[in-house]
């Protein structure tokens, strides 16, 4: 199997030469799974690292029993979608910090594919999963998360490889919390809550909720109408929790973009899908001055017609596993 630096499609994007394979066979356990780095590849533009993560067949069976793969994810609530992603044994988000000869890489890009022995029809559509599994001697009876990471060289010239180290850092997972409802107001309100992990008590201080209207994308797609009404909730947390730890989410789904009544064209359907109106509310950090509490603004889902009230839900983002440090001496 030839490996290239720009291999987002698991093949050469340019006329670059394939990288030189350096066998590693590094094995370790992290987040309850068996990991293996079978090899790294020294390329002209940087280093390519392949990770093979075993997904036990028992975990796959349990997931398929609970979640039928044929149903549409669009029919699920935001809370159900988050639970599905947490239950999916193939899904786990993490970041990689890498060093070569003790010096940090500037940047990297990663691509992943899955081998699922219980969905052979999907596997037959592409030979790349099968090639990857067989090339590295992965047991086909289990599932595999196959990840390829490319790191740009951090030196002017291609270095002589002596050691490579990786720090694997799990991204926080979303856990839904309490719900509450607001209409428009401009007086301070407080809601007490307890963090689900630390058990520390906090106060959610609601300063203001107001209806807003803003034109979106109409200048880009003339024959489509987009919802432009939402509510903005200004709040703070005592003791403070950053937006990386706590966010407020509108429980209602946003209105979907619709075709303008003055046209019958459907040529922009793909563009609408890319924009992704159903991604949910955003959070804006206003910052703080000395001796004041940091302020945040949560934006509700978008609607064509203003809604009188919004049901919000607290969503906590929690990191469940410690970082894993792995070093390879070549």
Q: How many CB atoms lie within 10 A of CB 301?
A: 23
At 137, the pLDDT band (50, 70, 90 cuts) reads very high
Instruction: Report which of 137, 147, 139, 130 is spatially closest to residue 91, judged by C-alpha positions.
Output: 147
Statement: residue 58 has pLDDT above 90? yes
Q: Is residue 2 part of a domain?
A: no
> How many domains does the chain contain in total?
2
Q: How far apart are the first and last CA of the chain?
A: 21
Q: Are residues 146 and 78 in the same domain?
A: yes
Q: Is residue 324 part of a domain?
A: no
Q: Are residues 112 and 156 in the same domain?
A: yes
pLDDT tens-digit map of 29-44: 999 999 999 999 999 8
Q: Are residues 182 and 142 in the same domain?
A: no
Q: Are residues 287 and 195 in the same domain?
A: yes
Domain boundary among 171, 204, 225: 171
Domain boundary among 171, 195, 217: 171
DSSP string, 21-75: EEEEEEEEEETTEEEEEEEEEE-SSEEEEEEEEEE-HHHHHHHHHHS-TTS-GGG
pLDDT tens-digit map of 271-281: 333 333 444 55
Q: Are residues 179 and 149 in the same domain?
A: no
pLDDT tens-digit map of 120-135: 655 455 678 888 899 9
pLDDT tens-digit map of 171-220: 998 889 999 999 998 888 899 999 998 999 999 999 999 999 887 655 56
Q: Is residue 239 part of a domain?
A: yes
Please state, for a pLDDT cut of 90, what percent of the chain lies above it: 52
Q: Are residues 196 and 216 in the same domain?
A: yes
Q: Are residues 197 and 248 in the same domain?
A: yes
Instruction: Write out the residue range of the structural domain in which residue 244 sits.
Output: 173-318
CA dist list (Å): 323 to 27, 97, 101: 16, 11, 20
Q: Are residues 167 and 179 in the same domain?
A: no
Instruction: Report which of 60, 67, 64, 94 is spatially closest to residue 82, judged by C-alpha positions.
Output: 67
Q: Which two tokens stand for residue 16?
A: 């670059």
């Amino acid at each position: 199997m030839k490996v290239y630096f720009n291999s987002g499609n698991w093949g050469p994007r340019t006329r670059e030469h394939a990288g030189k394979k350096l066998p590693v066979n590094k094995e370790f356990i992290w987040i309850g799974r068996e990991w293996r780095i079978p090899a790294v590849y020294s390329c002209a533009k940087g280093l390519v690292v392949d990770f093979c993560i075993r997904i036990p067949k028992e975990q796959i069976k349990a997931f398929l029993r609970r979640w039928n793969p044929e149903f549409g994810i669009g029919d699920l609530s935001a809370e159900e979608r988050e639970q599905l992603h947490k239950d999916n044994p193939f899904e786990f988000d993490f970041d990689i910090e890498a060093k070569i000869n003790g010096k940090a890489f500037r940047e990297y890009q990663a691509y992943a594919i899955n081998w699922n022995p219980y969905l052979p029809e999907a596997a037959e559509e592409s030979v790349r999963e099968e090639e990857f599994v067989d090339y590295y001697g992965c047991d086909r009876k289990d599932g595999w998360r196959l990840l390829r990471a490319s790191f740009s060289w951090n030196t002017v010239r291609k270095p002589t490889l002596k050691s490579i180290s990786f720090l694997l850092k799990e991204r926080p997972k979303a856990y839904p919390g309490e719900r509450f409802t607001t209409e428009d107001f401009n007086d301070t309100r407080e809601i007490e809550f307890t963090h689900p992990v630390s058990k520390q008590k906090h106060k959610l201080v609601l300063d203001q909720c107001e209806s807003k209207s803003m034109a979106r994308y109409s200048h880009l797609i003339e024959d489509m109408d987009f919802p432009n009404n939402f509510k903005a909730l200004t709040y703070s947390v005592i003791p403070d929790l950053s937006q990386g730890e706590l966010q407020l989410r509108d429980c209602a789904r946003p209105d979907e973009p619709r075709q303008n009544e003055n046209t019958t064209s459907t040529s922009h359907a793909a563009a609408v899908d890319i924009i992704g109106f159903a991604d949910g509310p955003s959070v804006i950090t206003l910052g703080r001055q000395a001796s004041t509490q940091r302020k945040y603004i949560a934006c509700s889902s978008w609607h064509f017609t203003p809604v009188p009230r919004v049901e919000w839900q607290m969503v906590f983002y929690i990191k469940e596993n410690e970082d894993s440090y792995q070093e390879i001496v070549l």
